[in-house]
C-alpha cells in the first residue's frame, strides 16, 4: 500500500511536469523544476520511512525506470550524434587541416586545467587538514579497499603506449556499440577518417559528391531531431535521478565525513571559477556563459554521467555557445574520456594528500607536489584506457606514488555525493575547452552566444 501511494505521488509529479511542458515553459525552467521536486520528494521519503527502509528501496526501483531509462536513451544517441556531426562538420568546413589544431588545442586545454585542478586539490586538502588517519573503516570500506587492491593488478600492466593504442578503432562497429572504455575516442577518429574521405570524393567526383553531401545533411537532420526528442524528456529524468540520490543517501555517513565533502566542493567551486576566468580571457562574458551551461551542469550533477551528458553538451555548445559543430563534438568527446578536472584532477590529488601523512610524507613538500601534479596530469590522459572514472584515476595515481590503494575505499559512503559535483565540473571543463578553442581558432559564432533565445527544441512539446 505504501509503495502504491509513493508511486502515485511520483506519477502526479510527472503529470505536473507534463503540464508545464504543454504551457510552453522553457526546457531550462522545467529541468530546475524537476530538480527541486526530486529533492523534495526524496527528502520526504527519507523523513517518513527513515534511511535504508525497504519501502524506499522498492520505490526507488520503480522510480529508477524513469531515471535509468532516460540515461540509457541519452547513451543510445551518443555514438550516432558524434559520428554524423563530425562527418557533417568536416564536409561543410571542407578543411581537414583544421582537425589537428582543434584536437591538439582541446586536449591541451583539458590537460592544463587538470594540472591546475590537481594543484587546487593539494591546497584545499592542506587548508582543511584532511588526513586518512582519523577515518574509521567499517565493513563496506574494508570490502571496497579489497576490491580496489584486486583491480590494481589489471591497472599496473597498462602502459601509456597501450592506452594510446587503445584509442585507434580496430573494429569501428564494435566501438559504435560502445564495447570498450575508449570507444568514444575511437568513434571520433573513425568519423574524422570518414569525413576526410568524403572530402576527397566531393573534390574528385563532383556528381557523387553532391549526392554524398545531401545524404550527410539528411542524416544530420534525422539525428538532430532524435536528439531533440530525447532532450525533451530531461525534466522527467532529472526528477527521478534526484529523487534516487536524496532518498538513497545515508546522512549519518555524510556528517561523519563532512569535512571531506565540504573541502571537495570548495575545490570544485574553485575549478569552476578557473573555467570562468579562462572563457573571460578569450572575450566571453563569464556570467552569460555560466547561465547558458547551467542546465547541462544540472543534468551532469544529477545523472553522474559525463557520457550520458554528451548529447546535451554538444547541443548546447553548438546552439547556445556558438562553438561550431567540429569544435563542439571534439571537445565534448575528448572531455568525456580524458583530462577530467573533477574525477582525474582534483579527486586523486586530494586522496594522495590525505594518505601522505600516514606514510611520513610532507604533503606540502615542493618535490612531492610537483611529482603528484605530473602523475595526475599524465594519468588523466589515459583514464579512458582503463575506464572507471575517478576510481581508476585514484588507483593509477596512488599506485604510481607507492601508496596503498585500499585506503581509497575509506570514502565509499560519500562517493555518490562527491561524484555528482565531480561530474558537473568534468562537463564544465569540456565546454570550457570547446569555448576557448573555438575563440582562439576564430571558429566561433558570437551572434549565437549573444542571443537570448533557447536552444533548438527547448520550447518543443514532446
Residue range 319-373, pLDDT digits in tens: 999 998 889 988 988 888 788 898 889 999 998 998 888 888 888 899 999 999 9
Place 455 in a pLDDT band, splitting at 50, 70 and 90.
Answer: very low
Of 181 and 214, more confident:
214
Mean pLDDT of all residues in 72-90 = 85
* Burial label, 100 (beta-carbon count in 10 A; 0-12, 13-18, 19+): exposed
Mean pLDDT of all residues in 194-205 = 90
DSSP for residue 336: T
Across the chain, which distance is largest between two alpha carbons, in Å? 72
Q: Rounded distance, CA 216 to CA 190, Å? A: 16
Residue ranges in 205-323 assigned as alpha helix (H): 206-231, 234-248, 251-256, 258-281, 286-303, 306-316
Q: What pLDDT, on a 0 to 100 scale, did the predictor assign at position 151?
A: 52
Q: What pLDDT, on a 0 to 100 scale, did the predictor assign at position 18?
A: 92
pLDDT tens string 302-326: 888 887 888 889 989 999 999 988 8
Mean pLDDT of all residues in 125-134 = 81
Place 133 in a pLDDT band, splitting at 50, 70 and 90.
Answer: low
Place 142 in a pLDDT band, splitting at 50, 70 and 90.
Answer: very low
Q: Rounded distance, CA 288 to CA 293, Å? A: 9
DSSP for residue 168: S
Given a cut of 50, whether residue 460 has pLDDT beyond it is no
pLDDT tens string 14-27: 999 999 888 877 87
Place 457 in a pLDDT band, splitting at 50, 70 and 90.
Answer: very low
Q: What pLDDT, on a 0 to 100 scale, did the predictor assign at position 139?
A: 42
DSSP for residue 408: G
Range name among 273-287, 381-395, 429-443 with the lowest pLDDT average = 381-395
Give the C-alpha distances (Å, rounded to integers) separating 157 from 151, 154, 160, 394: 11, 6, 10, 16
Given a cut of 90, whether residue 114 has pLDDT beyond it is yes
Q: What pLDDT, on a 0 to 100 scale, did the predictor assign at position 94?
A: 63
Q: What pLDDT, on a 0 to 100 scale, did the predictor assign at position 49?
A: 87
Instruction: Quickly list DSSP for 97-113.
Output: THHHHHHHHHHHHHHHH
Place 456 in a pLDDT band, splitting at 50, 70 and 90.
Answer: very low
Q: What pLDDT, on a 0 to 100 scale, did the predictor assign at position 288?
A: 94
Mean pLDDT of all residues in 214-226 = 89
Asked if 318 contacts 289 with a C-beta cutoff of 8 angstroms, the reply is: no
Mean pLDDT value across the chain: 84
Q: Could you tell me the pTM of the whole model?
A: 0.80
Q: From the CB of residue 358, how many other CB atoms can be counted at a distance below 10 Å?
A: 13
Of all residues in the chain, the percent with pLDDT exceeding 70 is 85
Q: Rounded distance, CA 428 to CA 412, Å? A: 24
Q: From the CB of residue 399, how many other CB atoms can be counted at a distance below 10 Å?
A: 17
Place 240 in a pLDDT band, splitting at 50, 70 and 90.
Answer: very high
In this structure, CATH architecture of domain 2-450: Orthogonal Bundle (1.10)
Mean pLDDT of all residues in 143-164 = 58
Reading the block at residue 315, the C-alpha cell is 547541443
Place 85 in a pLDDT band, splitting at 50, 70 and 90.
Answer: confident
Reading the block at residue 164, the C-alpha cell is 594510446
Q: Rounded distance, CA 267 to CA 461, Å? A: 39
Of 226 and 85, more confident:
226
Backbone φ/ψ region at 455: left (φ over 0), alpha (ψ -120 to 50), beta: beta
Place 389 in a pLDDT band, splitting at 50, 70 and 90.
Answer: low
Domain ranges of the chain: 2-450
Give the C-alpha distances (Å, rounded to integers) separating 273 from 112, 113, 261, 278: 15, 12, 18, 9
Reading the block at residue 52, the C-alpha cell is 535504508
Q: What pLDDT, on a 0 to 100 scale, did the predictor assign at position 118?
A: 94
Q: Rounded distance, CA 11 to CA 41, Å? A: 12
pLDDT tens string 393-438: 787 788 778 887 766 666 666 777 888 899 999 999 999 999 999 9
Amino acid at each position: 500500500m505504501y509503495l502504491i501511494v509513493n508511486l502515485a505521488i511520483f506519477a502526479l509529479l510527472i503529470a505536473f511536469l507534463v503540464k508545464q511542458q504543454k504551457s510552453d515553459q522553457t526546457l531550462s525552467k522545467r529541468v530546475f523544476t524537476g530538480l527541486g521536486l526530486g529533492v523534495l520528494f526524496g527528502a520526504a521519503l527519507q523523513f517518513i520511512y527513515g534511511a535504508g527502509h525497504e519501502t524506499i528501496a522498492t520505490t526507488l526501483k520503480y522510480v529508477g525506470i524513469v531515471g535509468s531509462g532516460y540515461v540509457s536513451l541519452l547513451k543510445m544517441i551518443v555514438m550516432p550524434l558524434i559520428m554524423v556531426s563530425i562527418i557533417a562538420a568536416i564536409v561543410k568546413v571542407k578543411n581537414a587541416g583544421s582537425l589537428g589544431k582543434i584536437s591538439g588545442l582541446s586536449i591541451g586545454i583539458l590537460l592544463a586545467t587538470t594540472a591546475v585542478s590537481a594543484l587546487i586539490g593539494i591546497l584545499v586538502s592542506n587548508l582543511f587538514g584532511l588526513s586518512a588517519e582519523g577515518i574509521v573503516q567499517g565493513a563496506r570500506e574494508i570490502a571496497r579497499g579489497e576490491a580496489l587492491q584486486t583491480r590494481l593488478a589489471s591497472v599496473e600492466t597498462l602502459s601509456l603506449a597501450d592506452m594510446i593504442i587503445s584509442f585507434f578503432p580496430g573494429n569501428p562497429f564494435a566501438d559504435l556499440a560502445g564495447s570498450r572504455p575508449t570507444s568514444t575516442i575511437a568513434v571520433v577518429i573513425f568519423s574524422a577518417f570518414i569525413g576526410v574521405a568524403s572530402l576527397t570524393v566531393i573534390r574528385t567526383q563532383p556528381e557523387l559528391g553532391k549526392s554524398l553531401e545531401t545524404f550527410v545533411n539528411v542524416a544530420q537532420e534525422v539525428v538532430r531531431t532524435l536528439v531533440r526528442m530525447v532532450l525533451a524528456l530531461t525534466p522527467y529524468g532529472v526528477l527521478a535521478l534526484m529523487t534516487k540520490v536524496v532518498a538513497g543517501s545515508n546522512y549519518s555517513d555524510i556528517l561523519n565525513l563532512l569535512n571531506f565533502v565540504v573541502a571537495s566542493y570548495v575545490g570544485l567551486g574553485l575549478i569552476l571559477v578557473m573555467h570562468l576566468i579562462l572563457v573571460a580571457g578569450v572575450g566571453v562574458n563569464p556570467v552569460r556563459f555560466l547561465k547558458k551551461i547551467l542546465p547541462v551542469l544540472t543534468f551532469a550533477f544529477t545523472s553522474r554521467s559525463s557520457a550520458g551528458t554528451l548529447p546535451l553538451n554538444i547541443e548546447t555548445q553548438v546552439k547556445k555557445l556558438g562553438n561550431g559543430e567540429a569544435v563542439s563534438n571534439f571537445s565534448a568527446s575528448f572531455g568525456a574520456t580524458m583530462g577530467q578536472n573533477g574525477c582525474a584532477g582534483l579527486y586523486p590529488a586530494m586522496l594522495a594528500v590525505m594518505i601522505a601523512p600516514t606514510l611520513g610524507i610532507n604533503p606540502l613538500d615542493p618535490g612531492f607536489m610537483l611529482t603528484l601534479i605530473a602523475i595526475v596530469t599524465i594519468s588523466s590522459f589515459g583514464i579512458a584506457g582503463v575506464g572507471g572514472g575517478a576510481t581508476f584515476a585514484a588507483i593509477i595515481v596512488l599506485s604510481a606514488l607507492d601508496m596503498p590503494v585500499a585506503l581509497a575505499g575509506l570514502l565509499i559512503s560519500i562517493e555518490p555525493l562527491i561524484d555528482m559535483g565531480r561530474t558537473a565540473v568534468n562537463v564544465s571543463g569540456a565546454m570550457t575547452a570547446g569555448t576557448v578553442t573555438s575563440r582562439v581558432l576564430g571558429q566561433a559564432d558570437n551572434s549565437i552566444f549573444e542571443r537570448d533565445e533557447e536552444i533548438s527544441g527547448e520550447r518543443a512539446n514532446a
